A and B are shown apart, each in its own frame.
Chain A
């Protein structure tokens, strides 16, 4: 079965570019056939997860960032890459990147990392159709990091580098999961993931925000499947978590003094962990490979 869209995109691109521009196609994570450019020197990241993934594999290819990095973030990054311009994002509806801008930047490839649901597949197809620029959609799930690196390596013609990082991701996961393997699921600490200045926003079971937490501990809010939700302190008291992981500095600073949290086990045992967020969040967002160090 030939993908008609890919064919049209390939044909129209072939009319503009020299015939040898696309040597072959590759299957991306959404099982779409993406033409592989003969030489990739400029990549447009569709969103933050894609930008971070690319930064770790081939930083010099990054045209710019979805959002300009702040000075304190750049302290941890390659200075000349970190200061590259803001180019916006291509996402479902919060499209801040104008397709004409994308075209004017002349990328050889548009890279999107994240959900491979129908919404994003159709978006990828449409952008590829409109711009004739190959648009690769890779799996953003935490467990798929290695596979995503290999696909990206193949797309960029840097299989070795992709393989190296994929191995690193696999080894890291294996080491950490190996350490907690002997502990039965029921004996692992109950973790409450706190967001927001009051710490009352949390990630429900299966939400992308608690992927890493659920890999290691028991997410107390995991009984309900969903995304982000607000809960009451009473509910946290009922769950009585052993550990609190938070990304909010204000909450981490005030929770120990807050009388309404005093009865929570994690607060009594002083097991409140504030996740670092430089240069990218270590636990939650953006949901990319940056979460590997957070494990």
Chain B
């Protein structure tokens, strides 16, 4: 065991990143909102005196930017927590939340929803259900295989089922109307929070909160899960039910995130490593730290996505462009805290 070092400085850094991200995200954007406007709008909202904040600015803060900032933090935190949980469960630092096919399933659900010309909320619902179904199939196949290494079976099944769902996405795109549906599908698959409104937060908050609470509640047992199967059993941990709980909770938050924001890679892979370098590998600290960092990280990236140009830059592109060099830097310069 590594001697425990204080995680306080690490948490302080994570929280500072989040708060800085929040202030920045709320005050920069395509529509000019000053820090004074922001404070004025907050005061008015809390029942204080109505300042001289114009209705248009108020609408931007409460209807447009506020919900989007909330969604970015929730999605970032969810992906980071799910990534941390899966990396621990599979004892592999290269695992991301879509390892069991949640993203491919959600993608198929979403493109089907677009293909059938469903409404916005129905598309989010089909994406969410698609993610759950894909992982459900993977788990059922994985559980039916009698093997000494259930984790390996799960990973292999995840790859196969994810690939099959990916083919389904390709097929639906091929059949789609090229003038209207195909661009919509392409945009969706690149990931974006550009259309997030107040009503989009509810379906996101519920599953993300539920899954995150379960994972944080299991954080002590998760450290045991990173031991080999037999050792964990001798310590009195029921590995089977625990594995189901972790997979279910992580899938719930991943599917909800993908349904709300489309496919955003690299957050669930990079942030857990960053959190590990700040607070160490113990899950009891790692999970909350990853949640805070993930929220701040995606918040900063989404702020770039909506301010760099007149048009939106897809999140999936930015997370990859920023995430990959960052990950390489982490690999080369930070001590290997996961070994």
Contacts and interface: CB of A to CB of B under 8 A. Distances in A.
Interface of A: 48, 67, 91, 94, 96, 195-198, 200-201, 204, 221, 223-224, 226, 228-235, 237-238, 247, 250, 258-260, 262-263, 281, 284-287
A123 to B, nearest CB: 15
The B contact surface, by secondary structure, is loop
Given A197-B119, A224-B311, A235-B30, 13 more contacts: A94-B178, A195-B184, A198-B195, A224-B309, A229-B311, A230-B311, A232-B29, A232-B64, A234-B30, A234-B31, A234-B64, A284-B179, A285-B180
A198 B64 CA distance: 13
Given A67-B177, A260-B59, A263-B59, A233 B119 contact: no
A292 B182 CA distance: 24
A223 B55 CA distance: 27
Contacts of A228: 183
Interface residues of B, number: 31
Contacts of B180: 195, 247, 285
A221 B310 CA distance: 8
B187 A230 contact: yes
Nearest to A250: B119
Given A196-B184, A198-B120, A221-B310, A96 B64 contact: no
A263 B55 contact: yes
30 contacts: A48-B179, A94-B174, A94-B178, A195-B184, A197-B119, A197-B120, A198-B195, A201-B183, A204-B311, A224-B309, A224-B310, A224-B311, A230-B192, A231-B311, A231-B312, A232-B306, A233-B194, A234-B29, A234-B64, A234-B65, A235-B30, A235-B31, A235-B310, A235-B311, A237-B30, A250-B119, A259-B63, A263-B55, A263-B60, A286-B179
Interface of B: 29-31, 55-56, 59-60, 63-65, 68, 119-120, 174, 177-180, 183-184, 187, 192, 194-195, 197, 306, 309-312, 314
A223 B310 CA distance: 9
Contacts of B178: 91, 94
Nearest to A197: B120
Contacts, number: 92
A259 B312 contact: no
Nearest to A227: B183
A189 B180 CA distance: 25
A200 B30 contact: no
B49 to A, nearest CB: 22
Contacts of B29: 232, 234
A80 B197 CA distance: 47
Nearest to B121: A197
A237 B60 contact: yes
Nearest to A287: B179
A202 to B, nearest CB: 8
A77 to B, nearest CB: 18
Contact of A231 (B55, B119, B120, B310): B310
A259 B29 CA distance: 19
B112 to A, nearest CB: 15
Contacts of A281: 179
A260 B312 CA distance: 17
